[in-house]
Amino acid sequence: MVGQADTVVPVTHLLVIEDDDRIRTLLIRSLRDRGHAVDSAATGMEGLNRALETRPDLVVLDLGLPDVDGTQVLAMLRAVSEIPVIIASARDDDPSLVAALDAGADDYVVKPYTTTQLEARVRAVLRRTRSAHGGREQVVVGGLTIDVRGRRATLDGNQLDLSPREFDLLLHLAEHAGDVVTKKELLTQVWQQPWGGSDKTVDVHLSWLRRKLGETADSPRYLTTVRGVGVRLTAPDGIG
């Protein structure tokens, strides 16, 4: 397996704007239980102030507020910031929903909703806004770095000049780094055709890969062949 998990989410700061004490307390508790830092406000004006003061990562906004209408809070919020907003509303009609979304809301849940649903939507919105700033997808094995979408690979910082097949081959091996991969598997996964093709083709491409990776006969740095079984790609020094 390759290290690819980026599910470690930094603590997020949420703001709940909701006038109903019971619902607000419930929301705060359930969101806190999920590991969020939760702030709250009971009125529109208070919520707006807190939002601009504390700059939360996301706002959960009730539409039916006593002082200012939720849509106005949303509009004012949008006028000055990009803070994502999830609308919670008792109004279950299309016009309200469309108006809210078009006013800049990121999601819209109808009361009564479950806390689990709201939590899921919070996660979804946060993931989206966060990932938009994310970097590019890479597979790294030792000094070998593969840019998947760019279809480029570097070895110790030097760009590798690989043919399409060579790239696919290297990528597949890298994605299964540490595992022995059989030629049959490579034929089906990289060559995409189980029926035709001989193992010899794989051998030839592996040879070319070796050359380009700078492998020599008696210094197997990345590619090691397991006789009778297949081939394995690993980092020179056992990097986990």
Partner DNA sequence: CGCACCGTTAAGCCGCGGTTAAGAGTCGAG
Partner DNA sequence: CTCGACTCTTAACCGCGGCTTAACGGTGCG
- Give the interface with DNA as residue ranges (CB under 7 A): 1-4, 163-166, 183, 191, 196-201, 203-208, 210-211, 215, 217, 225, 227-231
Residue of 54, 53, 60 whose CA lies nearest to 34? 60
User: Using CB distances below 5 to 8 A depending on partner kind, what does residue 24 bind out of a copy of itself, DNA, none?
Assistant: none
Q: For DNA, give the closer residue by CB, 121 or 210.
A: 210
CB 100 within 8 A of CB 87: yes
- What is the phi-psi region of residue 214: left when phi exceeds 0, alpha when psi lies from -120 to 50, beta otherwise? left
For residue 204, the minimal CB distance to DNA (Å) is: 4
211 binds, among a copy of itself, DNA, none (CB under 5 to 8 A by kind): DNA
CB of 150 vs a copy of itself, minimal distance in Å: 5
Give the tokens for residue 42: 């009971």
Told to check if 228 binds a copy of itself by CB under 8 A, we report yes
As given in the structure block, the two tokens for residue 154 are 């570097």
Burial level of 200, CB count in 10 A (0-12/13-18/19+)?
Answer: exposed
In angstroms, what is the minimal distance from the CB of 80 to a copy of itself? 8
Q: How many CA atoms lie within 13 A of 93 on its CB side?
A: 3
Name the residue nearer to DNA (CB basis): 69 or 203.
203
| Residues 56 and 39 sit within 8 Å (Cβ to Cβ) | yes
Instruction: Summarize as ranges the residues that interact with a copy of itself (CB under 8 A).
Output: 82, 84, 94, 97-98, 101-102, 104-108, 114, 116-117, 119-121, 123-125, 127-129, 131-133, 136, 147, 149-151, 159, 163-164, 178-180, 226-229, 232, 234, 238
